[in-house]
Amino acid sequence: MSPWTAALYLENGQLFVGKGFGAKTARGGEAVFNTGMTGYQEIYTDPSYYQQVVVLTGSEVGNTGVNADDIESTSAFLSGVVVREYNDIPSNWRSTGTLSSYLDRLGVPGVFDIDTREVTRVLRDDGAQRSIVFPVSSTDRESILKEAKDLIATVVSMEGLDLVSRVSCQKPHLYGDTSASAPRFVVYDYGVKTNILRSLRTRGFGVQVVPYNFPYQEVMKINPQAVLLSNGPGDPSVVPDAVGMIQGLLGKKPIFAICMGHQLLARALGCTTYKLKFGHHGINHPVKDCIQNKILITSQNHGFAVKEDDLASREVKVSHKSLNDGCVEGYSSEKLQLLSVQFHPEARPGPSDAANIFDHFVKGFIR
Partner 1 sequence: MPKRTDIHRVLVIGSGPIIIGQACEFDYSGAQACKALKEEGYFVILVNSNPATIMTDPDMADRTYVEPLTPDFLEDIIAKERPDACLPTIGGQTALNLALALCERGVLEKYGVELIGAGRKAIESAENREQFKGVLDRVGVEYPASGYAKTLEQGRTVIDQIGFPCIIRPSYTLGGTGASVAFNAEEFPAELQRGIDASPMGEVLVEESVLGWKEFELEVIRDKADNVVIVCSIENLDPMGVHTGDSITVAPAQTLTDVEYQQMRDAAIRIIREVGVDTGGSNIQFAVDPKTGRQVAIEMNPRVSRSSALASKATGFPIAKIATKLAVGYTLDELPNDITKKTPSCFEPSIDYVVTKIPRFAFEKFPNSDPKLGPQMKSVGEAMAMGRTFKESFQKALRSLETGLWGLNPITERRKLRSGQNWIDGIRSYVKTPSSDRILWVAQGMREGISLEELHMLTKIDPWFLQQISEIVAMESDIAKFTGDVATIPREALLSWKRAGFSDRGIAHHLKSSEDQVRGKREQLEVLPNYKIVDTCAGEFESRTPYCYSSYESTSDQLPKGKGRKIVILGGGPNRIGQGIEFDYCCVQASFALREEGCESIMVNCNPETVSTDYDVSDKLYFEPLFLEDIVAILDREKPDGVIVHFGGQTPLNLSRHLHAMGYPILGTSSESIQIAEDRDKFRALCHRLNVRQPESLTVSQRERAVEAAEQLGFPLLVRPSYVLGGRGMEIIYNSRDFHQWLTKGIEISEDCPLLIDRFLKNAVEVDVDAICDGEEVIICGILEQIQEAGVHSGDSACTLPPITLSEEVQAELTRTTKSLALELGVVGLINIQYAIEDGLVHILEVNPRASRTVPFSSKARGVSYAKVAAKVMLGRKLKDLKVVEPRIPYVYVKESVFPFKKFPGSDIILGPEMRSTGEVMGGGSTFAEAFAKAQIANGFTLPMGGTAFLSVKDDDKENLVGIASHLEMLGFNLIGTRGTASFLSSRGIQIKTVNKVNEGRPHVVDHIKNGEVHLVINTSALGVHEVGAAYELRRNTLMRNICYFTTIAAAKAAALAIAEVGKVRPKTHCLQERV
State the residues that interact with partner 1 by CB under 8 A: 16, 33, 35-39, 41-42, 57-60, 63-64, 67, 69-70, 84-85, 87, 89-94, 113, 115-118, 120-121, 124-125, 282-286, 288, 293-295, 297, 323-324, 347-352
Q: Which is nearer to partner 1, 119 or 268 (CB)?
A: 119
The CA distance from 215 to 67, in Å, is 37
How big is the chain, counted in residues? 367
Smallest gap from Cβ 343 to partner 1, in A, equals 13
Return the bridge partners of 82, or none: 55, 111
Q: Is-contact 339 363, C-beta < 8 A?
A: no
The CA distance from 34 to 36, in Å, is 6
Packing angle between helix 242-249 and helix 260-268, nearest 10 degrees? 70
Helix (H, G, I), strand (E, B) or coil at 146: helix
Beta carbons within 8 Å of 282's beta carbon, 6+ residues apart = 34, 35, 36, 299, 300
The CA distance from 350 to 179, in Å, is 30
Smallest gap from Cβ 33 to partner 1, in A, equals 8
Smallest gap from Cβ 125 to partner 1, in A, equals 8
Residues with a catalytic annotation lie at: 259, 344, 346
Smallest gap from Cβ 20 to partner 1, in A, equals 16
Q: Which is nearer to partner 1, 160 or 326 (CB)?
A: 326
Smallest gap from Cβ 173 to partner 1, in A, equals 26
Q: Which is nearer to partner 1, 262 or 285 (CB)?
A: 285
Looking at residue 236, what DSSP letter applies?
A: G
Q: Which is nearer to partner 1, 167 or 347 (CB)?
A: 347
The CA distance from 254 to 356, in Å, is 17
| Backbone conformation region of residue 173, classed left if phi is above 0, alpha if psi is from -120 to 50, else beta | beta
Q: Which is nearer to partner 1, 184 or 348 (CB)?
A: 348
